[in-house]
Amino acid sequence: MSLEIIISDAIKDAMRAKDKVALDALRAVKSQILLLKTEAKGADVSAEQEIAILQRMIKQRKDSYDQFMAQNRGDLAEVEDAQSKVIEKYLPQQMTSEELEAEMKNIIAETGATSAKDLGKVMGMAGKALAGKSDGKSISDMAKKLLS
C-alpha cells in the first residue's frame, strides 16, 4: 500500500479523533506527496521519494523546534515537536547506533576508505544504502567518527 493511501486513511482517523496536531502534520505530508506527483506529471512516487519527503519534513520541524526554543516560544516548539513525532510514525524502523556503526564499517571496508579524506566516497555510498533507515546527520557523524 502506498504512503499516500496510508496517510489519507490516517487523516480520516485524525478527523474522527479530532486530533488537530496529527491532522495538520498528515495534511502537510499529503500535500508534499501531491506536489511531487504534480511535478512528476502524474508519475508514481517511489518509496525512496516518500521516505525523503518524510525525512525532510521531520528535519524542518526539528529545526523549527530548535529555533522556537531559542526564542523562548515553548508553545510553538511543542506543536513542531508533536508534529515531527506524528510524521516519524510513517518512516521505516530507524537503525540503532550499534546497527549504524556495523553498517558504516562494512561500507568503509567496501570503499577502501582509510581517512577523513575519503568521507565523500563513504557518504555517497552510505546515503544510498541507508536511505530511510537513518538520518543524514547520524550517518555523517558515524562516518567522521570511524574515519578519524
Query: Which grid coordinates are listed for 131?
Result: 536511505
Strand ranges inside the chain, DSSP E:
none
Give the residue carrying C-alpha cell 508534499.
32
Cα separation, 142 vs 123, in Å, equals: 10
Domains of the chain: 3-89 (1.10.1510.10), 97-147 (1.10.10.410)
Query: Which grid coordinates are listed for 113?
Result: 576508505
pLDDT at 30: 94
pLDDT at 20: 95
By C-alpha distance, which of 105, 98, 147 is closest to 129?
105
pLDDT at 96: 85
Cα separation, 93 vs 90, in Å, equals: 9
Helices 47-70 + 3-17 axis angle, to 10: 50
Please enumerate in sequence order all residues whose Cβ is within 8 A of that of 33, keeping only pairs 6 or more positions apart, or say none.
Answer: 3, 4, 7, 45, 50, 53
Whether 88 and 51 have beta carbons less than 8 Å apart is answered as no
User: In a structure prediction context, what are the per-residue pLDDT tens digits for the chain, which is 148 residues long?
Assistant: 688 899 999 999 999 999 999 999 999 999 999 998 888 787 777 888 888 899 899 999 999 999 999 999 999 999 999 999 999 999 888 888 888 888 888 888 888 888 788 888 888 888 888 877 887 888 888 888 888 8
Biggest CA pair distance of the chain: 55
Cα separation, 87 vs 89, in Å, equals: 5
- In the chain, what is the straight-line distance between the N-terminal and C-terminal CA atoms, in Å? 42
Query: Which grid coordinates are listed for 28?
Result: 502537510
State pTM to two decimals.
Answer: 0.75
